[in-house]
Amino acid sequence: MKDVAQHAGVSTATVSRVLNGHAAPTPETRERVLAAIEELGYRPNALARSLRTTSTQTLGLVISDLLNPFFAEIARAVEDEARSHGYCVVIGNADESAEQEATYVRTLLDRRVDGLLLCPATDDPSLVREVSAGGVPLVLLDRTVRGATCPVVRADGSEALTALARRLVGAGHTRIGVIAGPPNTSTGRERTDVLTGALGGLAQVVHGDFRQESGSQAAARLIDDGATALVAMDNLMGLGALGEVRARGLQIPHDIAFAVFDDQPWFPLLDPPITVIAQPTVEMGKAAARSLLALIDGRQPDDVRLTAKLVLRGSLGEAEL
Amino acid sequence: MKDVAQHAGVSTATVSRVLNGHAAPTPETRERVLAAIEELGYRPNALARSLRTTSTQTLGLVISDLLNPFFAEIARAVEDEARSHGYCVVIGNADESAEQEATYVRTLLDRRVDGLLLCPATDDPSLVREVSAGGVPLVLLDRTVRGATCPVVRADGSEALTALARRLVGAGHTRIGVIAGPPNTSTGRERTDVLTGALGGLAQVVHGDFRQESGSQAAARLIDDGATALVAMDNLMGLGALGEVRARGLQIPHDIAFAVFDDQPWFPLLDPPITVIAQPTVEMGKAAARSLLALIDGRQPDDVRLTAKLVLRGSLGEAEL
DNA sequence: GAGCAGTAGTTAATCGATTACACATGTATC
DNA sequence: GATACATGTGTAATCGATTAACTACTGCTC
């Protein structure tokens, strides 16, 4: 910057004003400065700028698993929305581990992100409290924690799950296997509660960990126990469960009905196409980013609850008639 | 930091020394400083530290599309490897647009990442030159550019493609549709060249853009032109093409043989399971991160070429006998 | 022509860390 | 007892920007 100033025959203050569009420099000075910048190929040091202004124009996003297309889509949406407002997004991968999540959150805070989006790995509120205590704007995404005091953006699957339950019961299923998420996550618990509630006593629940492998194992147990229908509570466990169904040579929907919470582009390609509860992922990501930006702006955004929808495709068999 | 120093009755220099494990402070002073840090809940400002040390312990990764599971997996692997060496990764989404790619690269440079991993959207070397001119360590991943002067990490699919071609020809296919990547990407061009070369005059090539939609369109044209086999050059175009095949009610492999470059966890679940050329994505990501860290370390890593493998699963029909 | 307002630009403090150098103290050597 | 050397800590410059406070100049009014 000093070089640029010297080159243009002005002070660094003037260069800074040109750079930030401040209300001072003569058009003529402006030109000279811009020419010098161009000539020297100068680029301002964002670190120094941020140190001085205490604003990094960066949002932190900590998610459970980048490999989960659900989160990848969310990340993508957050990023799009943030960029359109001049913000960058730094993504942290917590790998469904509370410990790694905490590490990442702290790293992002140390780097002074202007705000944080968090998909909490567990519903333990201590990390959230820590962030809030630091005064950093925080929005929870997809999942919440006990006694959350910050805005939350999530999808509401109650209606869809109830509708799904009604169909399964109506079709005469009496042993319905539910491959649930971990009970210490809000989504894991709530989805399962709603579904099992709506199924009356017909549900058999096995908990997985939102990963593929746990899906196959849970499916194996449930099938062994005589389930005639399977509902997986997220797409990765759904993938695992499908693998198990295939491995056993069972036909969907003839031998077993099948549904998944979360849609994926390839579900329609299976034979039969898989019935799902689709979450508005892109909307969730965008809404969360908007809430966070509002918070950074000093406004107080409301919680956002978007609706997940049941999409019938055929894998439930007669339940879809 | 000043507060901590005051609290512990020492100077900021000593606090800094304790923080960085420097070879000076007395165990007793150390304790006092650590106690003060604990008590005040002090966390060092990474921006200030980076400004002073000119090291951010951060790598930049610019990829074409986070929603493409291939890149998501790479991102994940890069991140793992980087973290295990104490580095963070900032991911930028170029969306297959050269312009957005350039914007992102510059943003990352402005933030003074210690090094950059780039999956270039086109084979135009100007951006790479710009980065190199800035003296920032750079490694290319998956794709290269014309006359690249930096380390490149990629997968070599020649053998696999040749083997695939041999099988298709051997099975008597005479109109083989190739859904190719954009000709201005190194992977798009090379894979297509190898395959069409190996197919003699039997290939019909339609170029897509590595996205799902272009895959369906290309498939539609090729099927209209009488193709009896389809090979998609990446997983997203493969997904699109599969959709088109299904939409037309064609049976794989009876009506049409099908193969995709890139594996996906759900390919084995289709009926029949899809034959693919699998790239060692995790290895690619890790290798790239390692190369970049070596470069940052002042060493000169060699290019890395990993081998992609043909995985036969049944979607080629008699070509697999 | 003195006084005042307005404009363009400079000087220097500041953000929060790191680190070269200086200094004080204690120990070993002759 | 003087000299040398090691050790632990403090002082202050520095990284590269922003910006409040100040100065210099121009032009206008009375």
Of B210, B241, B242, B245, nearest to B70 (Cα)? Answer: B210
Question: Tell me: the pLDDT tens digits for A56-76?
Answer: 999 999 998 899 999 999 999
Q: Distance from residue B8 (CA) to nucleotide D14 (C1'), in Å?
A: 25
Report the percentage of chain A scoring pLDDT > 70.
Answer: 100
Of B262, B264, B270, B265, nearest to B246 (Cα)? Answer: B270
pLDDT at position B22: 82
Among the residue ranges B72-76, B89-93, B242-246, the one predicted with the least confidence is B89-93
Average model confidence (pLDDT) across chain A: 95
pLDDT at position B135: 93
| Domains of chain A and any CATH numbers | 2-44 (1.10.260.40), 56-154+281-305 (3.40.50.2300), 156-279+310-320 (3.40.50.2300)
Residue B50 has pLDDT above 80, yes or no: yes
Best mutation target, B55, B88, B244, to test chain A (most A CBs within 10 A): B88
Instruction: Tell if the CB–CB gap between A109 and B43 is shorter than 8 Å.
Output: yes
Q: Using a CB-CB distance cutoff of 8 angstroms, which residues of chain A are in contact with residue B79? A: 66, 93
pLDDT at position A170: 95
Q: Distance from residue A285 (CA) to nucleotide D19 (C1'), in Å?
A: 36
Find the helix or strand (DSSP H, E) in which B61 lies.
Answer: strand B58-63
Q: Distance from residue A283 (CA) to nucleotide D14 (C1'), in Å?
A: 47
Distance from CA of B92 to the nearest CA of A (A): 8
Report the percentage of chain A scoring pLDDT > 90.
Answer: 90
Q: Using a CB-CB distance cutoff of 8 angstroms, which residues of chain B are in contact with residue A131? A: none
Question: Tell me: the pLDDT tens digits for A86-120?
Answer: 999 999 988 888 999 999 999 999 999 999 999 99
Question: Tell me: the pLDDT tens digits for B114-127?
Answer: 999 999 999 999 99
Residue B23 has pLDDT above 80, yes or no: no
Question: Tell me: the pLDDT tens digits for A292-305?
Answer: 999 999 999 999 99
Residue A23 has pLDDT above 80, yes or no: no
Distance from CA of B177 to the nearest CA of A (A): 20
Among the residue ranges A5-9, A170-174, B142-146, the one predicted with the least confidence is A5-9
Question: If you average pLDDT over residues A252-266, what whole number do you get?
Answer: 97
| Contact with chain B for residue A109, Cβ under 8 A | yes
Question: Tell me: the pLDDT tens digits for B296-321?
Answer: 999 999 999 999 999 999 999 988 88
Best mutation target, B84, B129, B266, B315, to test chain A (most A CBs within 10 A): B266
Please report how many Cα atoms fall inside a 13 Å half-sphere around the Cα of residue B9, on the Cβ side: 4
Which string of b and e fits B19-39 if b means at least 16 CB within 10 Å? beeeeebeeebbebbeebbee
Residue B24 has pLDDT above 80, yes or no: no
Question: Tell me: the pLDDT tens digits for A196-208?
Answer: 999 999 999 999 9
pLDDT at position A37: 94
Nearest to A45 among B112, B246, B266 (CB): B112
Question: If you average pLDDT over residues B20-38, what whole number do you get?
Answer: 88
Instruction: Tell if the CB–CB gap between B46 and A76 is shorter than 8 Å.
Output: no
Question: Tell me: the pLDDT tens digits for A202-247?
Answer: 999 999 999 999 999 999 999 999 999 999 999 999 999 999 999 9
What is the C-alpha to C-alpha distance for residues B254 and A116, in angstroms, rounded to an integer? Answer: 52
Best mutation target, A1, A54, A91, A235, to test chain B (most B CBs within 10 A): A91
Can you tell me which residue has its alpha carbon closest to the C1' of nucleotide C13? A52
Find the helix or strand (DSSP H, E) in which B176 lies.
Answer: strand B176-180
Residue B4 has pLDDT above 80, yes or no: yes
Q: Distance from residue A8 (CA) to nucleotide D29 (C1'), in Å?
A: 36
Report the percentage of chain B scoring pLDDT > 90.
Answer: 92
Distance from CA of B140 to the nearest CA of A (A): 21
Instruction: Tell if the CB–CB gap between B79 and A66 is shorter than 8 Å.
Output: yes
**Is the distance from CB of A275 to CB of A259 less than 8 angstroms?**
yes
Instruction: Tell if the CB–CB gap between A72 and B76 is shorter than 8 Å.
Output: no
What is the C-alpha to C-alpha distance for residues B78 and A146, in angstroms, rounded to an integer? Answer: 33
Distance from CA of A201 to the nearest CA of B (A): 32
Nucleotides of D under 7 A from a protein CB: 8-12, 14-21
Residue B136 has pLDDT above 90, yes or no: yes
| Contact with chain A for residue B82, Cβ under 8 A | no
pLDDT at position B40: 93
pLDDT at position A21: 84
Q: Using a CB-CB distance cutoff of 8 angstroms, which residues of chain B are in contact with residue A88? A: 90, 107, 111
Report the percentage of chain B scoring pLDDT > 70.
Answer: 100
Q: Which residue has the tokens 């908990």?
A: A207
| Contact with chain A for residue B109, Cβ under 8 A | yes
Residue A168 has pLDDT above 90, yes or no: yes
Residue B173 has pLDDT above 90, yes or no: yes
Q: What is the DSSP string of B248-274?
A: TTPPTTTT-EEEEES--TTGGGSSSPP
pLDDT grade for B278, boundaries at 50, 70 and 90: very high
> Closest nucleotide (CA of B11 to C1')?
D10
